[in-house]
Structure 1
Amino acid sequence: MGEFNVYGVYIPTLLVQGLVAYVLLLFVIRYTDRWMEQGSDAFLGLFNFCLYLVLLLLVHWVFVWSGF
């Protein structure tokens, strides 16, 4: 996949993608918590993990198609 060189320190691309997906997850959780308070999901941790994986897939797709 590659890496970024920041002042001689190589940072893996997947690490950057994971951090971007996590920041997006923090924003999305604000809206999904309203659904969770109504009891629409029994396993909140599993739901959030799957949501993170979907966001990571979308961020990876953007990185691949944008040419990073």
Structure 2
Amino acid sequence: MGEINVYGIYFPILLVQAVIAYVLFKLLTPATDRLIQKGWIALPSIFNLCFYLGLMLLVHWLFVWLWV
């Protein structure tokens, strides 16, 4: 997909997607923390990693779908 040019500075699309996914992750983490505290999630660190990667996949899919 390439890069995004912001005032002469080129940012890779993957970096922009990662930042957007991280912001979404931070906004949705309080909801998942409640599930972790209740014991519904056995391995919280692995769950958080998979949750972030899932958000990254969703953001990437939206970028590809909207760019075409």
Q: Same fold (TM over 0.5)?
A: yes
Q: Which runs of 5+ in 1 are unaligned?
A: none
TM-score, normalization by structure 1: 0.92
TM-score, normalization by structure 2: 0.92
Question: Residue 10 of structure 1 corresponds to which residue in structure 2?
Answer: 10
2:18 and 2:39 mapped to 1: Cα distance?
28
Question: Residue 42 of structure 2 corresponds to which residue in structure 1?
Answer: 42
Percent identity between matched residues is 53
How many residue pairs get matched? 68
Amino acid at match of 1:55: L
- Over the residues paired in the alignment, what is the CA RMSD in angstroms? 1.2
Amino acid at match of 2:20: V
Question: In structure 1, the residue corresponding to 2:40 is in which secondary structure?
Answer: coil
Question: Residue 19 of structure 1 corresponds to which residue in structure 2?
Answer: 19
Q: Which runs of 4+ in 1 moved over 4 A?
A: none
Q: Which runs of 5+ in 2 are unaligned?
A: none
